[in-house]
Structure 1
Amino acid sequence: MSETPLSRRRFVQGTLAAGAAMFVPDTRLWLPTDGAPAIVPSARQRPVMVNGVQSGDPLSDRAILWSRTDRAARLHVEWDTSERFTNVRRLRSPVAVAESAYTTHLDLTALPAGQDIWYRVRYESERAPRVFSEPIIGHLRTAPHPSARGGHRVRVAWSGDMVGQGWGIDESRGGIRMYDALRRAEPDVFVHSGDNIYADQPLLPEVPLDDGTMWRNLVVDGKRKVAETLEEYRGAFAYNLLDANARQFGASVPMIAQWDDHEVVDNWFHDLVLENDPRYTEKRVRVLAERAKQAFFEFLPIRRHRRDAGRVYRQFRYGPLLELFVVDLRSYRGANSGNRQRTASSETAMFGAEQLAWLSRAMRESRAVWKVVACDMPIGLIVPDRVRNGERNFEAIANSDDGVPSGRELEVARLLQQLQQAKVRNVVWVTADVHYAAAHHYAPERAQFTHFDAFWEFVAGPMHAGTFGPNVLDASFGPEVRFASTAPKPNRPPSDNLQFYGTLDVDASTHALTAGLWDVTGKRLWQVELPVAEPSR
């Protein structure tokens, strides 16, 4: 039987409240696996868990457990549905190797659905003497089974944009406080909506603030220059986990990660060549993207697709109430352009044909009450790119033409029309990217294109980056701003508390969905309750 919510809260807010409390020395854990007499190791002989633990991609019966060590070693895991570990199940990983930066991804299987899971992990050195690292205790919650009945409320949190615009870890100002805010919000799962790192934006040791004080960044290798090599991309991902709040969060809440542009370079597409950026010796973005994607999969708790190991788009069912559809608007897009082509082609691709077909089919087949599309870029907000050959290019879907859909809008129009034809109801979109919080309502009666049902799009971010906005909306799909945060000046620092996240709560009895937007202090800025529309079928 699962522990009560109070027990879970006590664990999350108590055991993990201090970083040192995550590490629980226990002399019983130092016995070699063959039962030989224990040898007290020196500190240098023990493997070290250098970046804590993370869990991710949770399903009703499994979840990915991630960690990283400093040498060849195996991860040993004990898990239980009780924080007292009275009925543990044990497993261990293959050896972590240098070729994958000594990272470990272990798929915990045969987990009970809709349960709190506590786990205790440690690394065992591969070479003699066989000794263990200090253990770490963590927590996750599995998704309810799709056929579960009653009593399973669902809370999803999301945000994006981490360590951007020169704002790194300033420990004197509390580090990356958003991770602490998210942990205290107690979501069942957190969706990172992209820009997990800013590989193209190094950090300076000090940044002057408007009030005369100084923001003092922790600066290490991986954040001293733009990332070009695989090791530099790895260093940018590892940087975030130097923050105590990030490690505590990783040991508390499972994450579903997607990517956007800054995991590689600003506004990238595969055919981009960085001819005019002297910071880069490797100019081919296609090469940089391959290195960045390898680091992305190494350093985040992601389950590899069995047929396509580099696939980012995927779906997650949270019981009968909610299903998440996580998309990838980077891997399949055409080049950024003026974005006003009248017919669909490879030039107008954003989702790409295969992903778009998957998304349409998966949403039409879903039996969940709410269908949530986690998109790494907004639909209607205008995100301009560079001027090329005298023409303004666009980075996102919208093209600043309020008429009928064109360019990348053609894919969205096709999807929305298919959902309407199949009578797929209760659809919401969540996104980040634009560095402010907003709520947009799209409706056909306000649109030039009318073959779709009204829906909501909620925007939240940044997590720990400069705050901007608001952007201008393109009217093609009839959006209306119901809420938008404002930045008094561009690039507001995290110390201004203008860092935002969102939540979706589905009520177990009424099945209504409540969307909320929050700042880093935990203050609710806006919310709306959405009643359930007629069933999809």
Structure 2
Amino acid sequence: MIRQPNRRHFLASGLAAAAVWPMLGSVRAAQFETDPFALGVASGCPTPSGVVLWTRLIFADAAPSPADAFSFAPAPQFPPIDVAWEIAADEGFARVRQSGIVTADERLAHSVHVQVEGLEPDRWYFYRFRAGDALSPVGRTRTAPAAGAENGRFSFAFAACQQYEQGWYSAYRDMAGRDLDLVVHLGDYIYEKSYGAGHVREHGTGAPSLLFEYRDRHALYKSDPDLMAAHAAFPWLVTWDDHEVVDNYGQDASPTDRRPEAFLRRRAAAYQAWYEHMPVPPLAAPSFEALRIYGHHRFGSLLDVTLLDTRQYRDPAPEAPQPAEMSRYTMLGAEQEAWFDRTMQESKAKWSIIGQPTLLSSRDLELGPGTRYSDDGWDHFRSARGRLLNSLRSADRANPVVIGGDLHCFYAADVKAEDQTLVASEFVTGSITSNAPSASAFETVMAENPHLRFGEARKHGYCLMHVAPDQARVELVAVSDRKDPAASAAKFQEFVVLDGMPGVNRV
């Protein structure tokens, strides 16, 4: 239950700030013993006129008892709570531009998703929430440039693969201090499983399979102060990979759940928990048996970002498909493929950023004359990759740049079609924390794949992309030691892609 507040805890935040908020009736009613905004705030999906604001209320005694995992008893119930929000043109909230009240309830874990409209394009804004006697941290966000605006620059970070136990999130502390317009997260935001040695912290529970377990896992990751700082500093775009559900799953198939109907229940729980913790638009009628997350995001005339979902719709291709069968199999599903083709035809931005969770380029894993490919990536769906590249070629996109994650290595690659035509440039970010592949496996990859122009498997961090009309410049940023909570971060390599000339160039 919600208890009487700890007055000392909230004097400097909620209660002391009450004077600057209007009387909001039921919003003031709740009183909290601990900070309900302990997971911070976030924003996402910016448009020229708006943005999505997110938070989730957390209660002191919300954690289920250990018996719940066996009895399937429901988690403790909490009443609906009215949450006020406001977004202002200044950090002191003297120039409030929009405000409102939403109700957070147990149905969606007391998460809040607010679709704000009526803002000016290409502007910084500040936002906050209030529930009862508690005031949230202040977040900062930015709207997209207007459609067709001749914006001359745009900078964003992209990141992936942040296994909580294997390192600290120092990379996000560095990211939060950068001058950026956006962050793109390319999947493996949480990890459902524990693996590896030398952990710096622990999940504390086994692999989740039920809704409350996925909620707890997301809340654990979200509680990291460096990750919270990066969310509060910029708007985010997000897609997922496999660890948000279970390692190496695809559509209704999982290596660890042999019955599709049981796995789909688990997948729905994981999708719901993901939605509850991400700054994505509110759902009019939530249903998590399926959840569309792919989308197209425009940022003036300079660039657009197209995010793909390579997990929910992929075919469960056989272990060793015959060439005649390959054309049937898809990573994206027929509907998403058709949507991507239309989107590429219709978009007119100078730079087209295609965000998807892994490496699009081929990657031979066997040393010598033979070939061996991963069965969990695009190499197992080569015809599907060909269709995606054909969409880019037929649309005559001037500057397609593919970004990805998943492999726990930094890569810079020339993306080539089956006929060896150079189609796009590609950059894969190393992991925030997740363990790298073995040195021998990585060396084989670099020896066998000359189109992978650069690779680095020993470092952990993220990538920055600075887009201008004449070039896209990519910086690879690494932390000094992922297992040091006070680690520093610095650029260790830089590349440039020139306007109208696909292919990566080391600076």
Instruction: Tell me the TM-score normalised to structure 2 length.
Output: 0.80
- Give the aligned partner of residue 368 of structure 2: none
* Aligned equivalents of 1:268, 1:34: Cα separation in 2: 47
Distance 1:365 1:437, change over 3 A: same
Q: What's the CA shift string for 1:484-512, capped at 9, x where partnerless?
A: 1133xxxxxxxxxx2121111112xx432
CA shift for structure 1 position 374: 0.2
* Aligned equivalents of 1:300, 1:81: Cα separation in 2: 24
1:326 aligns with 2:326: no
- Give the aligned partner of residue 457 of structure 2: 486
State the identity %: 25
Q: How does 1:67-78 map to 2 (within 5 A)?
A: 67-69=55-57, 70=59, 71=78, 72-78=80-86
- Return the letter of the residue paired with 2:437: F
Q: Aligned to 1:65, which of 53, 57, 62?
A: 53
Q: How does 1:423-434 map to 2 (within 5 A)?
A: 423-434=396-407
Give the secondary structure class of the aligned counterpart of 1:185.
coil
Q: What's the CA shift string for 1:256-311, capped at 9, x where partnerless?
A: 11111111111112343556x8xx99994322211111111111111257799610
Distance 1:110 1:231, change over 3 A: same
* Aligned equivalents of 1:433, 1:249: Cα separation in 2: 20
- Give the aligned partner of residue 4 of structure 2: none
Q: What's the CA shift string for 1:227-275, capped at 9, x where partnerless?
A: 0100001111111121111222221111111111111111112343556
Aligned 8 A contact 2:431 2:462 in 1: yes
Q: How does 1:93-492 map to 2 (within 5 A)?
A: 93-123=101-131, 131-150=132-151, 152-163=152-163, 166-167=165-166, 175-201=168-194, 208=198, 215-219=199-203, 223-272=204-253, 274=255, 284-303=262-281, 310-338=291-319, 340-343=321-324, 348-382=329-363, 394-399=375-380, 408-443=381-416, 448-450=418-420, 452-468=421-437, 470=442, 480-487=451-458
CA shift for structure 1 position 81: 1.7
Q: Aligned to 1:526, which of 489, 493, 499?
A: 493
CA shift for structure 1 position 226: 0.5
Distance 1:144 1:282, change over 3 A: same
Give the secondary structure class of the aligned counterpart of 1:454.
strand
Q: What's the CA shift string for 1:30-73, capped at 9, x where partnerless?
A: 6532599x99x8653x8722311111111111111110113522
- Return the letter of the residue paired with 2:142: R
Give the secondary structure class of the aligned counterpart of 2:318.
coil
Deviates more, 1:26-35 or 1:193-202: 26-35
Aligned-pair Cα RMSD in Å: 3.4
Q: What's the CA shift string for 1:170-226, capped at 9, x where partnerless?
A: xxxxx42121121122321111100111013379xxx54xxxxxx54154xxx4100
* Aligned equivalents of 1:93, 1:352: Cα separation in 2: 38
Q: Which has the higher helix share?
A: 2
- Return the letter of the residue paired with 2:184: V
CA shift for structure 1 position 461: 2.4
Paired residues, number = 452
* Aligned equivalents of 1:435, 1:22: Cα separation in 2: 40
Give the secondary structure class of the aligned counterpart of 1:65.
strand
Distance 1:515 1:454, change over 3 A: same
CA shift for structure 1 position 523: 1.6
- Give the aligned partner of residue 74 of structure 2: none
CA shift for structure 1 position 455: 1.5
Aligned 8 A contact 1:381 1:471 in 2: no
- Return the letter of the residue paired with 1:461: G
- Return the letter of the residue paired with 2:410: A
* Aligned equivalents of 2:26, 2:241: Cα separation in 1: 48
Structure 2 unmatched ranges of 5 or more:
1-10, 60-77, 366-371, 480-487, 503-507
* Aligned equivalents of 2:377, 2:501: Cα separation in 1: 32
* Aligned equivalents of 2:15, 2:410: Cα separation in 1: 39
Q: What's the CA shift string for 1:135-173, capped at 9, x where partnerless?
A: 3211011111122234x4101211101226x426xxxxx
Structure 1 unmatched ranges of 5 or more:
1-19, 124-130, 169-174, 209-214, 385-390, 400-407, 488-497
- Give the aligned partner of residue 86 of structure 1: 94
- Return the letter of the residue paired with 1:506: V
